[in-house]
Amino acid sequence: AQSVTQLDSQVPVFEEAPVELRCNYSSSVSVYLFWYVQYPNQGLQLLLKYLSGSTLVKGINGFEAEFNKSQTSFHLRKPSVHISDTAEYFCAVTPSNAGNMLTFGGGTRLMVKP
Amino acid sequence: DTAVSQTPKYLVTQMGNDKSIKCEQNLGHDTMYWYKQDSKKFLKIMFSYNNKELIINETVPNRFSPKSPDKAHLNLHINSLELGDSAVYFCASSQDPGIGRTEAFFGQGTRLTVV
């Protein structure tokens, strides 16, 4: 079984400041990792994913994440946020030998202030 | 064109009623899913369907039943609704990992409120 912990339920930040949203996971098998974003009253949209290869992955909207196997982390970063980045962000994992049976973290609400 | 579409977007109903939520995907994917997001935004997988076969069924009450008339549709039927069923239900689809891995695409969600 897998579990995902997002350490911060809310992250307030000023516009144009950098941000890091933290994600840690536990699993007894190899996993793939994802970050999804949910804008208010919207569905989930994939930001980026790590399947294999380079541990630094780049996604849409200027986001990137780094997979750290030893620390079982997959933190999401953006060097300069915009008001439009205000949303709920979800980290998720799935066993690498399965489909998209995603296990989600509890979500982090990013609040960008002017 | 919307890739994964759900209807209705909002559903308000009384306890004890039976209701259905429809989901359609036009991506040609082989696998479809239902997720439940509770009031605290916690997302949990409910069902997964691949080529009309249920390949996993999480420990959800048997009042919930997925029905897939064809590969492009996965509807969710809920019998004898309870207050605790109030949540946002998301449909998703992805390509069969045996063919090639793609990410899951999600619908806009159906907000179910049981009163």
User: Could you tell me how far CA A46 lies from the centroid of its own chain?
Assistant: 9
CB within 8 Å: A43 and B4: yes
d(CA B88, CA B82) in angstroms, rounded, equals 14
Looking up tokens 């997002």 gives: A6
Predicted confidence at residue B99, as pLDDT, reads: 47
pLDDT for res B97: 59
Tell whether A42 is within 8 A of chain B (Cβ): yes
Of the candidates A100, A85, A43, the residue with the CA atom closest to the CA atom of residue B104: A100
The pLDDT assigned to A40 comes to: 87
Confidence of residue B111 (pLDDT cuts 50, 70, 90): very high
Whole-angstrom distance, CA of residue B38 vs CA of residue B68: 24
pLDDT at site B53: 75
Structure tokens at A20: 């890091």
Q: What is the pLDDT of residue B100?
A: 47
A84 shares contact with chain B (CB less than 8 Å): no
pLDDT on residue B101? 62
State how far the alpha carbon of B98 is from the alpha carbons of B31, B91, B102, in Å. 11, 21, 11
Distance from CA of A82 to the nearest CA of B (A): 23
Note whether A43 contacts B40, CB cutoff 8 Å: no
In this prediction, residue B13 carries a pLDDT of: 97
pLDDT tens string, chain A, 114 residues long: the values are 889 999 999 999 999 999 999 999 999 888 899 999 999 888 899 999 998 889 999 999 999 999 999 999 999 999 999 999 999 999 999 888 766 778 999 999 999 999
- Give A27 to chain B, closest Cα distance, Å: 17
Candidate from A19-23, B54-58, B106-110, B111-115 with smallest mean pLDDT: B54-58
Residue B81 Cα to chain centre, angstroms = 16
Tens digit of each residue's pLDDT (9 = 90 or more) over B30-74: 889 999 999 988 999 998 888 767 876 767 898 999 998 888 999
